[in-house]
A and B are shown apart, each in its own frame.
Chain A
Amino acid sequence: MSPRRHAPPGESAEAGAGVAVVPSGQAVPAGGDGGGYSAPAFRDGSEAAAATKPGSGNGGGKGALPSQMPSGTQRSRGKADAATGSGSGTVSAAAGDGEAASAPAGRHAAKTAAKTDATTVVKSGAMTAWPGSGAFAASRTATATAEGTSAGQSTGLSAQLMALARMIQIGTARSGRDGFSKKLLSQAEDVLGRAGERMRLSSAHTVVVLAGGTGSGKSSLFNRLAGAEFSTVGVTRPITRDAHACIWDDAGSGALLKWLGVPQRNRYSRASALGGGESGLAGLVLLDLPDHDSVMGHATGQVDRLVSLADVMIWVLDPQKYADAAVHQRFLIPLAGHSDVQAVVLNQADLLTAAQVDDCVGDLRRLLDAEDLHDVPILVTSAVTGSGLDELRRLLAEGVAARQAAAARISADVETVVARFARYTGETAGSGGAVDAAQRIPSGSTGKLVDQFYAAAGVNAVCDALRSARELRAADFAGWPAAWLVQRFAGRDPLRKVRLGLLWNDLRAVSSGPAGAQQAAIDNALTEFGDSVTESLVKPWSQTVRAAARSRADAVPAAVGEAIGMALPPEDSVERWWRLAGLAQGVLLGATAIALAWFAAVLAFGVLKVAGGLPGLLSDPLSLVWAVLLGSVALGLGAVTASASMRRVKKQALAEKAQISADIRKRIEDIAREMAVVPVEQELFEFDRYREEYAVAAKEASGGRSLSTG
C-alpha cells in the first residue's frame, strides 16, 4: 500500500494505451466508409488507416440509404467478432499488463488509424466512419468475451454515433434561425468529439470524479480512498484549486490523464499496492476536483470540463449544502439522463444523529426523484470516521470491473443530445409511423400545380389564338372568294394578311423570353404547392421543403416558354386539300364568270340583237334561263363548298388545338416534376433519412443503456 508518484508518462505508456485499445490493428472501424456502410475486410493496420482518410467515403452520398442501415450494422458487428477471434490474445495481455509487448507494426498502425480518425471526425465534420469505434468495439468485445458477457453494445454504440454524425451533417446544412439550432449542433459535435477521443484512449481505465461544493469533503474522501494525504485538506475555503488524480494500476493511463489535463505533479499511483481488498479497483482513475461554487471555483469552468469528460461522477454533498441550487441547477438536473454513471454521496454524516441522517437522506432522495434522478444511488459517508467508505469502494469496484462506464457515459451523452433533436423529427398533425417521401405530397397537389403552370403560361389563350390563325389562313384558300372579294372591295380589314404573318411569330414570342410565363402566378403556384406539402411538417423541414419547392422558381417561366415553343407547329403550313378546295372554288368561280358572260352574251345577242349569226346557245333568249341556272348553281355550289370546307377547317383546327394543348400539358407536367416536385421529394427524402438516423441514434442509446445496467 505504499503509493508512489506516477512515473513521468513516457512514450511507452502512451503507446501502451494505444495497444490496449486496438489489438494488432486488425479491428477496423465498423462501417469503414460511412457512406455505403460496406466494410471491406482489411488485413492490416496500414490499410485500415488509409481507408479511413477523410474523403475516402462520402457520408451524404447516394448509397447512404437509411434502409441499408441495419445490414450495415450487422456487418460491422460481424467484423468486430472476427477481430475478437484474432486479437483476443493480445487484448487479454494488454488488459493484464499494459506494458506487454505487441507487434510494433500493429502498434504503429493502430496509432495512425486512431489519429486519422480523430481528425476526420473532430475537425472536418464530414463524418466518414466512426473513429476508433471499431477498435473500441473490438477490445471491448474481447474483454466482454473474456468475462462471458454479451458483446452487442459497443457496435450498437458505434452505429448510434454514426447516426448522430449524419444527423449533424443533415442538420448543419439546415441550421439557422428557423432551422437546426446551431448551439445544439455544436453540442452534438462536442459529444461526438469527446466520444471519439475517449474511445481512442485507454478502455482499461475508468475515470471517476469526486465533485461537489467547497468544504463538502471531496479531498478528505479522496485521501481516504487513496490511503494517503495526496490532496490538501483545510479549514479555510476553498482549498483545492487543481484536479488531483490517483490511479489504481496506472499502466497505459498516461495519455488518458494528459487528455483529462491533470497536472503532472497531481498524479499519484497505487499500482504497487494492488492486492488485498483493493484488487477490484484496478483500472480506477479517481479524480479530486476543485469546487464549483466558491468565488474562485464557480467561474473557472474546470469542473464543467472534467465532469463532461469523466466516465463516472460522484457528487459529494454534505448536510449543509445538499440542496444548493449551485449543484442541482448546474449539474444534476442537466445530467438527469446519466443516472447510470452517477452516484451521490452524503458526506459528513458524523455530524448528524442517525435519525437526522435518515431524514436528510429521505429529503435528498425526494429532491433527486423530483429531478428525474431516480436511479442515482445515495451513499452516506464520513471522511472523519470512515463510515460508509467500504460501500463507496464497493460501488467503485463494480463500476471499474464492468468496464462499461465509459461506453455508458458516452451512450448517455448521446441519448441526452439526441433527445434534443427529437423536436426536428416530429410532425405536427397526427401522422405517425414512417411515411414514404413521395406519399407526403398530397395526391391532388401536383395536378393542381400543373394546372396553375398551365394557366400561368396562358396555354389556353395561345391555343385559341392558334386556332383563330389557322381558320383565318384556311379561309384564304377555302373561303368562298366571292365573299372575301366583297369584303375586300368594301375596304374591310386591309391589313389582315400582314398581321397574320406577324401573329404567327408573336405567338411564339408569347411565352419565350426572360419572363415567359407570368412569374408572379408561377410563384404563387409554387408557394401553394409548398404549403400543401408542408402542412404537417415541423419547423426546419417545413421551411426547407418550402424552399425546395421554390428553389427553381426563376427558371420555370423560361422552361415553360420553351416547351410551348416546341409544341407549336413549326410553320404556318398550308394543307393540300385547302388548295384543292381553292381550285374547286376557282372552277366554280370560273363557272360563275362563264355564266355571267353567257348571260351577258345572250342578253346582248339574243335579246338586244346586237349582232346576228351566232349559235342558238348565245342567241336564244331561252338560254338566259340556263345561264342564270348555271350561275346560281355555281354560286350555290361555291358557297356550299366554302362552308363545308370551313366546317372541316374548324374541326381540324379544334382537333389541332386539343392535340397541341395536350402536348404542352405533358411538357409542363415534366417541367413541374423536374423543377418543383423532384426538389421537394429530395428534401422529403432527406427528412426521412434524418428520421431514420434519429431512430437509430435514439433507440440504440436506450439499448446500450439497458445493457450496461443489466
Chain B
Amino acid sequence: MKEGQEAVPASLRWGGADDGAAGSEAQPTAVRAMADGVVGGGATAGAGGAAAGKDAETPHVRVDARKIQAALTELREAVARVSLLFDFAGIEATRAERQQLISQIDDYLLPRLRQSGAPILIAMVGSTGAGKSTLLNSIVGSPVSATGIRRPTTNSPVLACHPDDEKWFAENVFLPTLPRVRQQGLAMPGRDGLLVLATSEGMPPGVALLDTPDIDSVVAAHRQFARQFLDASDLWLFVTTARRYADAVVWEMLKDARERGASLGIVLSRVPQAAGEQLSAHFDAMLAANGLGGAQRFVIQETTITDARLPVEVSAPVRSWLTDTAQREERRTAILTQTMSGVLDTFETRIPALAEHAQMQVALRDELVSAAQAAYQAGLAEFDEAIRNGSLLRGEVLARWQEFAGAGDLLRTLEIRKGRQDKRKSRRHAGAPVRTGALKSALRSGIEALVVSLADRSAEDAMERWQASPPGAGLLMRAQEAYETGVPAGGELAYSSLRKWEGELNWGFPGGQAEIAAALPSGGAQPLGRSSDDLAARAGRAVAAWQEHLLRLVQTENITKRSIARVASFDPEALAMVLTIGVLGYGASDLVVSEGASAVPQQLLTSLFGAGLMRDIGGQARQDLHERIGVLYSEEALRFKALVDAVGSLDEGLAADLYQASYSLESAR
C-alpha cells in the first residue's frame, strides 16, 4: 500500500520531479499518441550518450498519463485491499494473481508511466543452463554475470546498462523492495534476493539487460523471482537451447508472454552446425503453431565458449538488434506500446475476475457464519420439541414427580380453605420441601443435560459443516496451526503485527495468528466441536432462573380456576412444580408414556387451571425457556463467528470499487 500512497502525490506532481518539464501537457501530438496507449518519449531518439542530458527538457509523458496513473493508483489500492481469507479451490492461483497484479502495477506500469524516458528494460528469461548469462556477457563484452557448469548458476538477477542510464535503476525509482548491489569489474555471484547492478560502456545506451534466474530448476524460489522481473520489464528475450526447446516449461512461459501481449524476442542457442536447418525449421513450426510466429527469433550456433563469452560474431545479431531497438524511436515506441497495452488489456478480464473473488470471499464468510448458526438453530428447535412433547418427563424427573405426587405431599400442600388462611401448614408439611426440592433439582438437571447434549450435537454439526467446506476446513486448519504455534505471551503485539505484515505481503490477509489463536477456546480448534466447558453451569443458572420465573408467575398471577381458588389454596412452590411438569408434558399426546405418568398432572392441571388457561401459560413458560436457552446457544455459536472474525475483516464494497477502478482505467486509456 505504501506504493499506492506514494503514487498519488507523484501523479499530482506530474511534470515536476520526474520530468522537470512543467508545460508538457500542452503538446498535442503527444496526446494523440497516448490515445493508442503509448507511453514513452523521444528523448533517446538521438545518439545514446545525450539521452540523459536531454531528459530534463523533453517531455516524455503525455497528458493522459496523469489520468492513467491516477486510475492505476486507485486500482492498485483496491487490489491491495482484496483479502483472500477463506479458502476455495484455486485460492493459491488467485493469491498469486493478486500479487502479480500489484507487482505489475508497482514495478512496471507506474514506473513506466512516471519515467517514460527510462531505458527499455529487457529481461533475459529461460531455462537453467540455456546460456542467458553467457549471452549477456557476450553482448556487454565483459563478464558481468557469472556462468557455470553447476545448475542453476544465477541466483540474483544482474542488470546491465550503460553508465549514463544507471540513475533509472536506483532503489527509489525501480523495484524499491529489492536491495541493490553495484558491481565493479569482475562477475561475482550475487546473494539471493539482490539485484546486481552492472554498468558497462559496452552496453548501448537506452536499453538495459536483465539476466534473470532460471524458470525450471529445483530451486523454486528462482521461478518466482524470475516472474517478478518479467512483470517489470518492457521486452522479454527468451533464451532456450536445441536440447530444451520442446520442454513443457518453455512453452508455458511463451504462452504466458503471448497472452499478455508482451514484446518478445526468442533465442535458440547451441544449435549444432549440421542440424541447424532442421532444428530451426522445427522450432519455427512450433512457434507458428502456438501463435508466436511473428516474434523476433535468433539462432546461435553451437560454439566453444571462451572467457564465459560467445565469439563476437555469434552474438552480434542480438547485440545489433538491441542497439537498433534503443536507438530507433519508432521501434522503441512500438515495443513500449505493445507491452504496456498488452498488460492493460489483460486487466480488462483479470480485474473483474478478481472482483468476483472478492465478492465470493464475502459470500464464503457469510456461509461459514450461517452454517454455524444453522447448526445451533437446529439444536434449539430440537430443544423446543423436547420440552414440548414430554420426553423430559422420564427417568429421575418422573420418579421424583411420582414420589412427590404419589406419596401425598402434593395433596398435603393443597389446603382446603376453611374460612381463612390456615396458619399451621408450615408445621405439618415438614417433609414436603425435601421432596419438592428433589423434584426441582431433578427438573433442573434434566433440562441442563438436555441443553448440554444438544449443544454438543450442534457443535459437532457445525464443525462437520465447516469441515465439509473448503473455507471451513482451511480456517480450522489455520486455527489449529495458530494454536499450536503458540503466541508468546509477552511479545504478542510485536509478533502479531509482524505476522500481519507478512500475511498481508504474502496472501493479502491481515488476520494475524495471534488474533486467531486468541479467538480459540483453550485446547485449540478441537474443543470447538464440543459445547464450551461452562455451558452446563450457565444452563443450570438459566434453568434456575426460569424456575424462579414460574414461581413468581404462580405467586403473583391469580392463575388457579376461580371455582377452585375459592375452596383451596396452594403452597406456591408445589404449585410451581405442578405447573412445570404440566408445561413440559402438557398436551404431549404424541408420546405413549403420557398415559400413566403425565396423566396425573394433566388431570390435576386442567382441573386446577382449566384447559385454555393452561395452554396459554404453558406457551408462555415454554417461550420464556426457549429464549433463555436461545441466548445460550447464540453465545455458543458466537465462538465460531469469533473465529471467522479473527481471520480479518472483509470490505463488502470492494468488488464495486474494483469494477469502478477498472472502468476508470478503461476510460483513461
Binding site for B on A (CB under 8 A): 177-178, 213-215, 235-238, 293-296, 298-299, 318-326, 328-329, 352, 356, 359-360, 363, 367, 455-462, 464-465, 468-469, 472, 491-493, 495-496, 499-500, 502-503, 505-507, 509-511, 513-521, 523-524, 527, 531, 557
Contacts and interface: CB of A to CB of B under 8 A. Distances in A.
A373 to B, nearest CB: 13
B407 interface: yes
Interface of B: 127-129, 149-152, 216-220, 241-249, 251, 272, 274-275, 278-279, 282, 386, 391-392, 394-400, 402-403, 405-408, 411-412, 416, 438, 442, 445-446, 449-454, 456-457, 467-468, 530, 591-593, 595-597, 600
A468 B407 contact: yes
B243 A237 contact: yes
A177 B467 contact: yes
Given A237-B245, A456-B396, A506 B402 contact: yes
A178 B467 contact: yes
Contacts of A496: 408, 411
Contacts of A178: 467
11 contacts: A237-B246, A328-B218, A461-B399, A461-B400, A468-B406, A492-B412, A496-B408, A506-B600, A510-B395, A511-B395, A519-B391
B216 A324 contact: yes
A295 B446 contact: no
A225 B398 CA distance: 90
B318 to A, nearest CB: 20
A456 B397 CA distance: 9
B247 to A, nearest CB: 6
B597 A520 contact: no
Given A177-B467, A237-B246, A323 B402 contact: no
B67 to A, nearest CB: 42
A507 B248 CA distance: 81
B406 A521 contact: no
Nearest to B451: A520
B396 A455 contact: yes
B411 A491 contact: no
A134 B451 CA distance: 59
B216 A320 contact: no
A294 B571 CA distance: 92
A326 B151 contact: no
A458 B396 contact: yes
Contacts of A469: 406-407
A244 to B, nearest CB: 19
Nearest to B270: A320
Given A324-B218, A509-B593, A523 B399 contact: no
Given A510-B402, A519-B391, A523-B456, 10 more contacts: A215-B244, A293-B248, A294-B246, A320-B127, A320-B128, A324-B151, A359-B150, A465-B400, A520-B449, A520-B452
B449 A456 contact: yes
Contact of A499 (B397, B406, B467): B406
Nearest to A216: B243
A557 B398 CA distance: 14
Nearest to A318: B243
Given A323-B217, A510-B395, A515-B391, A468 B403 contact: yes
Given A293-B248, A324-B217, A359-B150, A516 B394 contact: yes
Nearest to B411: A493
Most chain-A CB neighbours within 10 Å: which of B217, B278, B416, B600? Answer: B217
A323 B152 contact: yes
Nearest to A464: B403
Contacts of A523: 453, 456-457
A518 B395 contact: yes
A472 B149 contact: no
A29 B274 CA distance: 60
Contacts of A299: 248
A462 B219 CA distance: 75
A298 B408 CA distance: 88
Contact of B247 (A293, A455, A506): A293
Nearest to A359: B149
Contacts of B600: 502, 506
A520 B453 contact: yes
A531 B460 CA distance: 13
Contact of B593 (A352, A495, A515): A515
A323 B151 contact: yes
Nearest to A292: B248
A235 B445 CA distance: 85
Contacts of B597: 506, 509-510
A540 to B, nearest CB: 14
Nearest to A465: B403
B402 A356 contact: no
Nearest to B418: A491
A195 B600 CA distance: 73
Contacts of B397: 458, 518
Given A325-B216, A515-B391, A458 B246 contact: no
Given A236-B282, A323-B151, A465-B407, A215 B243 contact: yes
B278 A236 contact: yes
A280 to B, nearest CB: 33
Contacts of B454: 520
Nearest to A495: B411
B149 A513 contact: no
A321 B394 CA distance: 76
Nearest to B282: A236
Contacts of B386: 520
A545 B249 CA distance: 48
A366 to B, nearest CB: 9
Contacts of B150: 323, 359-360, 363
Contacts of B395: 456-458, 510-511, 516-518, 521, 557
A465 B394 contact: no
Contacts of B399: 458-462, 464-465, 507, 510-511
Most chain-B CB neighbours within 10 Å: which of A237, A455, A503, A514? Answer: A237
B402 A507 contact: yes
A321 B151 CA distance: 8
Contacts of B400: 458, 461, 464-465
A344 to B, nearest CB: 14
Given A324-B218, A518-B395, A493 B412 contact: yes
Contacts of A457: 395-396
Contacts of A326: 216, 247-249
Given A236-B282, A360-B150, A509-B596, A518 B467 contact: no
A215 B241 CA distance: 11
Given A320-B151, A503-B402, A461 B247 contact: no
Contacts of A329: 218
A461 B438 contact: yes
A215 B247 CA distance: 10
B525 to A, nearest CB: 13
A338 B662 CA distance: 53
A514 B129 CA distance: 78
B48 to A, nearest CB: 36
B149 A356 contact: yes
A701 B403 CA distance: 68
B224 to A, nearest CB: 13
Given A294-B248, A359-B149, A465-B403, A518 B394 contact: yes
Contacts of A521: 395, 445-446, 449, 453
A510 B279 contact: no
A295 B592 contact: no
B398 A235 contact: no
Given A458-B395, A511-B395, A500 B406 contact: yes
